[in-house]
Amino acid sequence: MSTLLKPSSLLPKGMRIQQINQLTLFKFTDELGDRIQTLLDKKKADTITATENLELEAIGELDEIFSCVNAAIAPKFTLTPFPL
C-alpha cells in the first residue's frame, strides 16, 4: 500500500513567485517543471512506477491549486479604462 504524497511537501523546492507588472503569480520552479515532464514521458511510455504515479498526481493537484489561486488574483489587477 502506497502513501499519498502531499502536494504541500513539494512547495519548499517546487514553488516560485513571479512578478509580472503588478501581478504576483505562483509558478513551478524549473526543477519541478522538468520533473513533471519526466514523469509524463514515463507515463506515456508506460514505464512509470506506482510511487512516481503518486508523485505525478500530487504535482497535478498542486498545479490545480496554483491555477485556481492565480485565476482568483488576476481579475483584481485588470486595467480599467481612464475616464475621459
- Domain membership of residue 13 (yes or no) is yes
- End-to-end CA distance of the chain: give it in Å, rounded: 65
The pTM of the full predicted model, rounded to 2 decimals, is 0.75
Q: How confident is the model at residue 20 (pLDDT cuts 50, 70, 90)?
A: confident
Residue of higher predicted confidence among 16 and 8: 16
Name the domain count of the chain: 1
Cα distance between residue 53 and residue 47, in whole Å: 10
39 is in which domain, residue-wise? 8-77
**Residue 81 confidence (pLDDT) above 60:** no
Q: Which residues contact 58 (CB under 8 A, 6 or more apart)?
A: 4, 5, 6, 7, 9, 10
- Domain membership of residue 82 (yes or no) is no
- Domain membership of residue 3 (yes or no) is no
**Residue 68 confidence (pLDDT) above 80:** yes
| pLDDT at residue number 35 | 94
- Domain membership of residue 84 (yes or no) is no
